Structure 1
Amino acid sequence: MKKNKEVTIYDLAKKLKYSPSTVSRALNNHKSISEKATREIQATAKKMGYRPNSLAASLRNNRSKTIGIMIARINRPFVSTLISGIENAARKAGHNVLISQSNDIYENEVNNAKALYDSRICGLIVSLGMETKDTKHFQQFADQNIPIVFVDRAPDDFNSYRVIIDNYAAGYRATQHLIDQGCKRIAHFAGAQHLNVYNLRKKGYLDALRENNIPVDEELIMDLKTMSFAEGKEATRILLERDNPPDGIFSSNDTAAVSSIITAKDKGIKIPEELAVIGFNDDPISSIVDPALSTVSHPAMKMGEISTQRILDHSTRNMDADISEITMLDTEIIVRNSSKRIKD
């Protein structure tokens, strides 16, 4: 079957007896073309099935109206909500988004960065993968003044926009909540410590213990590589089989926290009476598990919207603009039955 020929501006110009430049300007609603001619040209373009060649336009301008997104795992509720925020704000501004995921594998992230760079994106929004320690693959964007916004998982060694939360304060408050509920031996599910989000949550946890004169027990700190359900389950099993098990768990995400509740209940342990649990992110699963999981809110939608706005604003700033600008959003403790020992 013969493939239909792609309709071009030159085909429209020949059909309508206008110059190609006039057709091009009319298709872009240029004020130099009369309303009558613009309506005629656009109606004919639609009838003939003309599609604008955005790739060709990006090659001419050396940029597209596409924002690149690099995330670790698209199936995480926080990430999917973050992407929704990015996409909503981008669409309102007439931009598209191009999404890539690394599955927390560094090599994938490097390859994704090259693919997005070659796609001539106008800006990049990144949440780093778990394995990422070296950020040299982002320098190609900075060298071309393509704005980069690191959101949530952000590096400390790369000068760029950041949209983050106060992970230290959130970790401190989550731990303090368990202490206020009467917990004395609080375990912590810590993620990869080279990533700022997990490192700062752990520091908040440690300082809350120290300021409440609770000894730090290193055996209660469980290093989870990916913060998965399976890792949370195994970490909980190990903790509960010890001679002196914890009476509280602060998990750096909701996934591992939910698995700890399920694992503990399977062993006949009462939640929260014998083991109080708090997570992080306020994922949908946190309100489905029984008892419902206490957690820390994470304003993913707003973080996505602000990240997009940083990209859009960058083009209006001069070359000396402060690209190290940090936007820090508030969080709150959401108390549910998994940790609520003291009744109101």
Structure 2
Amino acid sequence: MSRTKKNQESTILDIAAALQLSPATISRALNNNPNVTPATRKKVTEMAGQLGYRRNNMALGLRNNKTHTIGLIVPRISMFFHAEAITMMQNALYEKGYNLIISQSNDSPEMERRLVDTMYSSRVDALIVSCTLDTQDFSHFDVFADNDIPLIFYDRVPPAFDGALIIRGDDFQGGYLAGTHLAETGCKRIAHISGPLTTNLYRDRSAGFFKALKAAGLPVYEHLVFYQPLTYDNTRTALKKMFEHREKPDAVFTANDTAAIAVHEFARENGLEIPRQLKIVGYSNDPRCAIIRPAITSVEQFPGKMGSKVVEALMQMLAADRETALNEPITIPVQLIRRMST
């Protein structure tokens, strides 16, 4: 084979010439047509590998209007919740004959907009999205809804979106469970470290928490409430301010587990006995919460269940017309996992 030929894309015609079979037979073999014998299919597959043949899924998609590819945009793949949900979605979609293109917005609305354009240009059959913390304008997703391409928002979602399905955790209930549990353990001054209220997650978790305090007859101490990106360093800064105040907290509810672990380390470094002097509740049930000692109470979001529900709903959307597809929001229940930190 010449050097020029090696640098060219091999085609079905090249495989047909090499095996002295018709292009139609080669095409059927590559598409696992049952009318092709296993022996012929094996020969075709092996020759395709030798010649470096690659299926052109884009061309196939143009012919049959299906690429069997699903787009997924998440804030960060490294987040425990999304890592679990992505694994479930990818495995379930693969079993159903779909590939998953995964991209991360890095919590940048501008990057999110660009990724939506890329996914649309790539002719994905559907798009699954967990939005950035700061996404307030959701109009860049209109291109999917306007063209009847299935669109699912999960976890971080818009308040409403015509033409899309919304699947979310019961974050209000999660905040309520955390606040109620701390009140029931005798806490009187409960601090709350939450994320930016630009996203549904933290609005709902905080609202549920404050409702629990009100139900228990406990006050909200403004100097013990912080809304900020939930990083380790930000949490440490907030804790330092809290404990410099005359009225110090006897418990902390953080809206994610990274912050809860930061509280745990701060307490140990400053001689605060957990849970006698300071109780801690986190959110997400990150595996680290069970390993650390004393283990941290947290709210389980069941990311695997959410990922499974996303795929289940997506399959219904792909199989149905727009009038019969799912459109009512779906809420995934949460559970308080009690451990020694409370």
Name the TM-score class by shorter chain. over 0.9
Contact 2:317 2:325 in 1 (8 A): no
Structure 1 counterpart of 2:209, from 198, 205, 212: 205
In structure 2, the residue matched to 1:163 is 167
Counterpart amino acid of 1:217? Y
Specify the SS of the correspondent of 1:272. coil
Give runs of ≥4 in structure 1 deviating > 6 Å. none
Counterpart amino acid of 2:340? N
Structure 2 counterpart of 1:285, from 262, 278, 288: 288
State TM-score, norm by structure 2: 0.92
Q: Which runs of 5+ in 2 are unaligned?
A: none
Q: Does 1:255 align with 2:255?
A: no
Q: How many angstroms apart in 2 are the aligned matches of 1:108 and 1:41? A: 42
Counterpart amino acid of 1:296? V
Counterpart amino acid of 1:157? A
| Aligned pairs (5 A) from 1:1-344 | 3-31=6-34, 33=36, 38=41, 40-159=43-162, 160-224=164-228, 226-339=229-342
Moved more, 80-89 or 159-168: 159-168
Deviation at 1:38, TM superposition (A): 4.5
Q: Which runs of 5+ in 1 are unaligned?
A: 340-344
With a CA cutoff of 8 Å and minimum separation of 6, indicate the structure with the bigger relative contact order. 1
State TM-score, norm by structure 1: 0.92
* Number of residue pairs matched by the alignment: 338
Using the aligned pairs only, state the percent identity: 36
CA RMSD of aligned residues (A): 1.9
Counterpart amino acid of 1:184? K
Deviation at 1:68, TM superposition (A): 0.9
Contact 1:236 1:264 in 2 (8 A): no
Deviation at 1:4, TM superposition (A): 4.0
Q: How many angstroms apart in 2 are the aligned matches of 1:276 and 1:230? A: 20
Deviation at 1:168, TM superposition (A): 1.0
* Cα-to-partner distance string for 1:53-90 (whole Å, 9 max, x where unaligned): 22322233344211111111111111111111111111
Contact 1:277 1:338 in 2 (8 A): yes
Contact 2:316 2:326 in 1 (8 A): no
Q: 1:258 to 1:34 in 2, by over 3 A?
A: closer
